[in-house]
Amino acid sequence: MASIIKVENLSYVYNPGMPGATTALENVSFEVEEGDFVGIIGSTGSGKSTLISHMNGLNRPTSGKIYIDGRDIWADPAKIREFRFMVGLVFQYPEYQLFEETCYKDIAFGPKNMGLDEKEIDRRVHEAARFVGLSEELLQRSPFELSGGQKRRVAVAGVMAMEPRILVLDEPAAGLDPEGRDTILSQVKEYHKKTGTTVLLVSHSMEDIARYANKVLVMAERKLAMYDTVERVFDRAPELLELGLSVPQVTKIFLKLREMGIDLPTDVYTIPYAVKTILEAKARRDAGENLTLPRRTVGENKKGGEA
Amino acid sequence: MLRDITIGQHFPGDSLVHRFDPRLKLVLTILYIVLLFAASNPLGLALSILFLAVMYKVAKIPLKMIGRSLKPILPIVLFTAVLNLFFVTGQGEPLFQFWILEIYPEGVRYAILMSVRVMALIAGTSLLTYTTSPIVLTDAIEALLRPLGKLHFPVHELAMMMSIALRFIPTLIEETDKIMNAQKARGAMLDTGKLTERVKALVPVLIPLFISAFRRADELAMAMECRCYKGGEGRTRLKVLRCTRQDYISLAVCLVCFGGILASRLLFPNF
């Protein structure tokens, strides 16, 4: 499959040549294939946000190239808007960018800028609103009357309505309650599944990444530290911990159990899979199999309580 | 684009200029402006600029910064220069004559002097803001205005409003930048198009900006009340401004320089 995003030796310096010059990205290269769901993790200040604002040309690389769909986005700076419509970018706390009188109008802002006709805009607004679960009645209300979570969903819909081929979200769940988090993230996942849009999701939550992404890109100190499938990245848990990051809580438990000498796999990243694994292990034990790892002899029945 | 705004930008440092008492620094800056107009002959102006250059050197502010602070006022400088060039008349023959336009040697002289003076003025006041943090500067203003408090002038409240305004300039610039990026990501055309289109394109930026400014003001007021802020009366400070011996020496040196520059005009009236 052809890669839809290709980043080559991307470096970016804020305020070059000034006393406040700071390097934000150093020599980052990677490729994303069409239809991937890529989670981006990294500690604060590792360059995640700078990286994603390069995707649609809001920042111009100090050096290096970015290809979207095989085309260098900075080949002709006058055409950068085309790429802005191809790569939909949802910033952190996007609800602060709402400005229209009604949610409908705000969602229509992007498609309108694309120069689409009324009918098409109407279709897109309704479709985007359906993806994020906004009712018809809410569409006619002012965005400033809504709750934080609803506002956030209006803002996300505003980007989805442009029907970009790549959707980039910078911590879409930040500051929401647990239910709001799950809602918005599963809506994004649903959108990804139904439309086949490539999604890049920045998140601090390893649980979310494990649950929704199929690939993980790890940023550390302005550089690309790892880029691989979820399994292979979380398999390198010690390295992640060294970078000041972590692995999902449930993976930590399994790593600990393994350390204690119980024969369990450690590639467990989500709760449902954890339950399944434990039940399987229990079945194996009930069948008379010895789950204790050789060399060490530690009580095996501890895991029984987990299930 | 927005990051180029340098007015009120502070360059932290530990030079003699940085450590100089802000009240004296403020007074000296005002004196310097007066000096620029009092010593208006080329020699006096040259000496004033030399003095300023030395100060920039002492403060270790890169000279490039002067250029940055001058850039936004370039139109004003050009405007003054052109006005002087065409409207100052002298005796003698005009250098150039076309229709109703006449240029006299005096006009050229005034045009040059005037633009140099305006630029020196901006560079001089920029030095003050480069070397003094806005908070310290408002402290100094408050201290200098205190006598007006006797006339029931709300000095502290004014100073507090100024510090808050100054404090939030960078925050709002950052916020504007963010909102502009967000709208650009949705295809808003903010840097291209005709003037009317551009003004229209600002609506999606200004509305969120105003809303967030009001939200911030609300939050700030709440936070201040939570800490029992009730205005200037009986309020003590963490950092009390005190003049040291070093400050008095610096003051004396500057005053002597100013005096010398002023005297140069009387001593060499022809330059």
Which residue from A73, A101, A105 is spatially nearest to A89, judged by alpha carbons?
A73
Number of neighbouring beta carbons within 10 Å of residue B268: 12
On whether residue A126 sits in a domain, the answer given is: no
Helices B42-59, B22-38: inter-axial angle, 10-degree rounding: 160
Q: Is A82 exposed, middle or buried (0-12, 13-18, 19+ CB in 10 A)?
A: middle
Q: Give B271's pLDDT tier (boundaries 50, 70, 90).
A: low
Q: Is residue A169 located within the same domain as residue A268?
A: no
Of A210, A227, A242, which residue constitutes the final position of a domain?
Answer: A242
Cβ–Cβ contact B57 with A under 8 A: no
Q: Is residue A87 located within the same domain as residue A175?
A: yes
Of A221, A242, A263, which residue constitutes the final position of a domain?
Answer: A242
Q: Do B182 and A91 touch (CB under 8 A)?
A: yes
Q: Do A97 and B189 touch (CB under 8 A)?
A: no
Q: Which residues of A touch B3 (CB under 8 A)?
A: 15
Q: Is residue A294 located within the same domain as residue A181?
A: no
Cite the beta strand spans of B26-82 per DSSP E. Answer: none
Q: Which residues contact B190 (CB under 8 A, 6 or more apart)?
A: B180, B183, B184, B198, B201, B202, B205
On whether residue A140 sits in a domain, the answer given is: no
Q: Is residue A88 located within the same domain as residue A186?
A: yes
| Percent residues over pLDDT 70 in chain A | 93
On whether residue A153 sits in a domain, the answer given is: no
Give residue-wise pLDDT tens across range A141-196. 999 888 888 899 999 999 999 999 999 999 998 888 888 888 899 999 999 999 99
Which residue from A270, A240, A236 is spatially nearest to A253, judged by alpha carbons?
A270
Q: How far apart are CA A132 and CA A294, in angstroms?
A: 51
User: Domain limits of chain B?
Assistant: 2-132+244-267, 153-226
Does the pLDDT value for residue B269 go beyond 80? no
Q: Is residue A234 located within the same domain as residue A259?
A: no
Give residue-wise pLDDT tens across range B40-90. 788 888 889 999 999 988 888 888 878 888 888 889 899 988 888 888 777
Q: Do A99 and B208 touch (CB under 8 A)?
A: yes
Question: Residue A25 is part of a domain; what is its CATH number?
Answer: 3.40.50.300
Of A188, A215, A242, which residue constitutes the final position of a domain?
Answer: A242
| Alpha carbon of A128: minimum distance to chain B alpha carbons (Å) | 14
Give residue-wise pLDDT tens across range A222-248. 889 899 988 888 888 888 888 888 788
Residues 168-187 of B with CB under 8 A from A: 178-179, 181-187
Domain that holds residue A263: 249-306
Which amino acid type is present at position A200? L
Radius of gyration of chain A (CA): 22
Q: Is residue A302 located within the same domain as residue A209?
A: no
| Alpha carbon of B185: minimum distance to chain A alpha carbons (Å) | 6
On whether residue A180 sits in a domain, the answer given is: yes
Note the pLDDT of residue B200.
82
Q: Is residue A185 located within the same domain as residue A92?
A: yes
Q: Is residue A203 located within the same domain as residue A279?
A: no
Which residue from B205, B200, B170, B208 is spatially nearest to B184, judged by alpha carbons?
B205
Q: Which residue of B has its CA nearest to A114?
A: B187
Q: Is residue A59 located within the same domain as residue A191?
A: yes
Task: Return left, alpha or beta for A15; rule: phi > 0 is left, psi -120 to 50 is alpha, else beta.
Answer: left
**What are the backbone dihedrals phi and psi of residue A11, each rounded to the nearest 5 degrees, phi first?**
-130, 145
| Alpha carbon of A162: minimum distance to chain B alpha carbons (Å) | 8
Q: Do A99 and B188 touch (CB under 8 A)?
A: no
Contact A291, A246 (CB under 8 A): no
* pTM for the full predicted model: 0.72
Q: Is residue A268 located within the same domain as residue A228?
A: no
On whether residue A302 sits in a domain, the answer given is: yes
Q: Which residue of A has its CA nearest to B206?
A: A99
| Alpha carbon of A58: minimum distance to chain B alpha carbons (Å) | 7
Which residue from B169, B174, B176, B166 is spatially nearest to B206, judged by alpha carbons?
B176
Note the pLDDT of residue B7.
47
Q: Record the tokens describing residue A245, joined without a space.
A: 């990051």
On whether residue A64 sits in a domain, the answer given is: yes
Cβ–Cβ contact B227 with A under 8 A: no
Number of domains observed in the structure of chain A: 2
